[in-house]
Structure 1
């Protein structure tokens, strides 16, 4: 609105002064000298030029105050327009001509020209980065330690002078490794020139492989190995999974699109109007505990307050994934999360649904779940007594609707706000930056490594893989710096956090025991 008013004032001043000039010309004596005419013509054209500059916005007019025509405000001093952030679209023409990464990337040797305003503080779960790297705080990370991690790694990532190099050792499941590399390439577009030199090994399989018990003796240092999940008995360093940039094999779009779809799905059905049962849909054949979950489905003899469905990904792919849109699955009051062969990618999608997540006892953790608290962000469910635990959870929720609704909203808010894509990039930035500080040697480009960039991965791709890469391409650098890394936990803080979560879980278990004792006494 302000800009519209200033345009009207521009027009006002130009019309006013053009009218004055016309009057001056008409009042001129016909016998005026030629010199006077020339002077007035110069004056006229000078004023016309100034008027055009007004229209173009190069000279902002003084704010018009009142209606007096006898006074004029001084012109404001010209200020430079804010710099427009340049875009860096996918340049496949350059790649196809030379098979080398384009040179028009954001400056990879200098810090980004992004806004350097004070950083926001990162979400609380970022503090676990310090815990994941604590095992190397005293010794640092040597080249020998990194080489030891090669035993199970799918690729080695090296960053030198703002460029990314990868040495591949073996193929991963589906395109996990490819989309993990793609995500790192997008991080380098998002924060150009901000990543330090580093070298690491990445394992794209499911379960952790660095048991803590093997490295308790002095002198036996664990290899630093990055992966998607770990457990409390392992030292693997957790890292956001590939699906944040799209899981092509299951038609799950990049995270920004999925979050938007789920948010729209949440709006379609109010929580109170949702089906008052616990919902799960997935592949029950990957592990025994999922097969055991299917025993909790409703039968003529028992109704455990659950509605469980088998997801056949092969059949679904043949039907065009019409029944797998995540935005359409926020229709039940309760959602069940149960791990697969290890942690499951489905965790973040389930938690985003505004329905309380009934979280089955976990064996593994990913990078964010350690920041979530039972009874606040989710409802804990016993893996050892699934059916009765699920039935009680739904009974409790339907009898305490305000509290149940609040749990669902808190968990969903955590995912939509503290897990938005900007924070995913910030997490990767900080875990890599903190890791790089531990290196005791200067990384160099391995002989068998190749330089990777968005073009080298996306331009040769086709089909849905190419589509998801284009959708998750970061075309402009971030307009703000990474969030401020929170400090490490003090021992008493960490103990209080872990004890608090355990206490909340045990409290739910005690409520369950009381409920079932009463039910048994009835019989």
Structure 2
């Protein structure tokens, strides 16, 4: 299907491809072009090239060994390959997160956890895997923001964080939100809830509305975490027939300035998002927890900015699984892209389907457990010391407390 679409796109235009390729490099968003015609061609070229070059991350349809995400583990642990991990490095890391210890198939941690629900989400997977895990010490950051700047180069500390940029050397782990501790909202006062249950809800919502019955509108609901979102909201006010984007309240809301001088809108459930063809994702404090949910609507996802990563992002490919935009897009860029996909509905549906298929097939709960298992086993091989018991640590679970 990828190849057929690519050929159709390339043959449908009579524009010099070599000239366009000089102006735009592969993988970028819309480049500067002298007129609308060339911009439209540039979009088609990007989709065609991305789909033609795309290779599935796993030859096993079931991907029982979560091979799709293996490269992320290798990359994150690479800074420690030559030096290994000393006891001193783990002691240095303690100030950046919560200390955990796996000892004789039992789990221990610091007495206090900064965010108890987040620790609960992490511990669900660790407890599940205890029979398969060797002894180890680790420090897990439960804050939103990563802790190790690039200056560390992996030589002074090792910290696990759920999200990071290329400027950080934290080791990414699957966020606590796959089980517990997600963002609290009016609709979800105790957090979004378990990923396995939400997957089923969203699949049912997506299946209940055919692509042709979805509203051909861009849709966004969220708080004004960053002014990066402003241009989409302003476009919505100017062209409501194209975009329905409004700000909602969050805990920091104080006045109308926090919702761009309009009354805050009501929150929308993820299931409600599935009514719309075009959905938008923005970073939050770090990576946004909403992204994986949007894909399961079988709608076309527009992902703004590529700086922030979670462990599963690298295998999501621009123009194959989602539509990429650079940070702080203009109203005009939004308009051009939405109009393009309204006029190329088959392409929009194909990319939406690709995104859905990837998340449904490669971000299951078994993939999360598999990733944790592989990550921790490979991490353990880097430890250069024998793990010892620590009576000051709290027993979390396992067969018996022997510290």
Q: TM-score, normalised by structure 2?
A: 0.74
Q: What are structure 1's unaligned runs of at least 5 residues?
A: 1-117, 316-321, 457-523
2:194 to 249, 254, 264: 254
1:165 to 108, 112, 134: 108
Cα separation, 2, equivalents of 1:306 and 1:290: 13
**Residues 269-320 of structure 1, C-alpha deviations (whole Å, 9 max, x = no match):** 1112211111111111x22323454333232xx45832113333579xxxxx
2:173 to 235, 239, 257: 239
1:221 lines up with 2:165 in the alignment: no
1:446/1:178 Cα in 2 relative to 1: closer, same or farther (>3 Å)? same
Q: Is the 8 A contact 1:182 1:454 kept in 2?
A: no
1:280 lines up with 2:220 in the alignment: yes
Q: CA deviation at 1:422?
A: 0.5
Matches within 5 A, 1:38-117: none
1:372 lines up with 2:316 in the alignment: yes
Q: Is the 8 A contact 2:117 2:180 kept in 1?
A: no
1:177 lines up with 2:111 in the alignment: no
Cα separation, 2, equivalents of 1:326 and 1:236: 30
Q: Is the 8 A contact 1:296 1:386 kept in 2?
A: no
- Aligned equivalent of 1:80: none
1:265 to 195, 202, 205: 205
Q: Is the 8 A contact 2:217 2:276 kept in 1?
A: yes
Cα separation, 1, equivalents of 2:64 and 2:127: 24
**Residues 408-430 of structure 1, C-alpha deviations (whole Å, 9 max, x = no match):** 01111111110011011101111
1:126 to 46, 66, 70: 70
Q: Is the 8 A contact 2:231 2:329 kept in 1?
A: no
Q: Is the 8 A contact 2:228 2:328 kept in 1?
A: no
Cα separation, 1, equivalents of 2:178 and 2:92: 29
Partner SS for 2:328: coil
* Higher Rg: 1
- Aligned equivalent of 1:289: 228
Q: TM-score, normalised by structure 1?
A: 0.57
1:335 lines up with 2:279 in the alignment: yes
Q: Is the 8 A contact 1:334 1:358 kept in 2?
A: yes
Partner SS for 1:453: strand
Partner SS for 1:263: helix
Cα separation, 2, equivalents of 1:314 and 1:138: 45
Cα separation, 1, equivalents of 2:341 and 2:388: 56
Q: What are structure 2's unaligned runs of at least 5 residues?
A: 1-61, 253-265
1:429 to 364, 368, 373: 373
1:309 lines up with 2:246 in the alignment: yes
Cα separation, 1, equivalents of 2:140 and 2:212: 44
Q: CA deviation at 1:388?
A: 2.0
